[in-house]
Amino acid sequence: MPPIARKFLRSLVTPYLKKNVTASSALELVRSNSGGAVKFDHFAFRTFGVDGFGIDSIAQLFLDLGYECRDELRFPAKTLRAFWYAPPLDFLDIEGDGVDGALPRIFISELLVNQLSSESQEVIKTYTGRARALSKHAPLTSVLDCLPWENPSVADYERLARESEYAAWTLANGYALNHLTISVHRLNSELKDINKLNEFLQSNGIKLNKDGGILKVSPDRGLLQSSTVADLVPCTFSDGEIETPASYIEFAQRLVLPAFQNLGPDQLKEWHRRDGFEVGNADKIFESTSSLQTGALKQSA
């Protein structure tokens, strides 16, 4: 794996941890109680599916690094779709902490902009249209922690938030890392049980996303997820600064697939476990940045 892979991941994590106090304290809490390395399950991004700014704009670098495109997930009620990308198999079980260890899966969603109201489409297409050439440089904007388009106006942000909080988040945060996810089953302490981890985090004052219940469970019961609520962070608009939801941190426990239940703990590899994502879980995890969870002032209609 060329050095740019881990350097890139690290450069995503640095501004993310600096900006998001809850995510960084949750990571620190887990790290100091993990009994060793903390591995990352996946990293996630949000995009506008328009003008070359969609999923591919951030996926291409991962594909060029040897990641493989896997399943599509659809969220019609949220006007979203997503793809996830798997790292080369050899890099799924590497020892080491954080971005030095196993490579994370990548989850990238996009807003189906052409299905929104003409008012929201106009807002989004104004910003992306003026910045069209910059869509080729999505990963650069992520690591530089800046938007590829002009700072939006508060009015445009609020206009989008009325129809889609995802749209407003993406306008204000661009390609910033939306969340990283701690691989819970690979912790080396009692926190490898996600219910214990959730209790531990809450008893340390970390607020978790309660949408659909704290623990999200896939229908096959193999994928268990929870997440924090995004911090409200000062955000620079063209006409002032207001606090808006930034990023959050997620926790995922992947259970051993039925076919591999007979393997001993030393034989178990990551690929013996429930892989991929789950629409029903993801639908609730998206709410980690919603005004209902974060307490951000709901925009007046």
Binding site for ligand OOG (CB under 6 A): 44, 46, 107, 109, 178, 225, 250, 277, 281-282, 285-286, 288
Among 5, 17, 23, 44, binds Ni ion (CB under 5 A): 44
Angle between helices 118-130 and 154-163 in degrees, nearest 10: 130
Helix (H) or strand (E) holding 157: helix 154-163
250 binds Ni ion (CB under 5 A): yes
Nearer to Ni ion, 167 or 180 (CB): 180
157 binds, among Ni ion, ligand OOG, none (CB under 5 to 8 A by kind): none
Nearer to ligand OOG, 34 or 227 (CB): 227
281 binds, among ligand OOG, Ni ion, none (CB under 5 to 8 A by kind): ligand OOG
Tell me the one-letter amino acid at 81: R
Count of residues in contact with Ni ion, rule CB under 5 A: 3
> Minimal CA–CA distance to 121: which of 158, 78, 77, 167?
167
- Scanning 39-47, 60-68, 98-106, 168-176 for contacts with Ni ion by CB under 5 A, the matching segment is 39-47
- Scanning 2-10, 17-25, 246-254, 259-267 for contacts with Ni ion by CB under 5 A, the matching segment is 246-254
Nearer to Ni ion, 44 or 160 (CB): 44
Angle between helices 21-32 and 4-19 in degrees, nearest 10: 110
> Minimal CA–CA distance to 274: which of 217, 191, 227?
217
What's the sign of the alpha-carbon dihedral 9, 12, 14, 19?
negative
> Minimal CA–CA distance to 197: which of 251, 247, 249, 248?
251
By beta carbon distance, the residue nearest ligand OOG is 282
55 binds, among Ni ion, ligand OOG, none (CB under 5 to 8 A by kind): none
Nearer to Ni ion, 131 or 184 (CB): 184
Nearer to ligand OOG, 82 or 95 (CB): 82
> Minimal CA–CA distance to 31: which of 187, 158, 150, 165?
187
User: Residue 245 CB, nearest distance to ligand OOG (Å)?
Assistant: 10
Evaluate whether 166 touches 46 at the Cβ level (below 8 Å): yes
Chain Cα centroid distance, residue 224? 16
- Scanning 41-49, 76-84, 91-99, 263-271 for contacts with Ni ion by CB under 5 A, the matching segment is 41-49
Local structure of 257: helix, strand or coil: coil
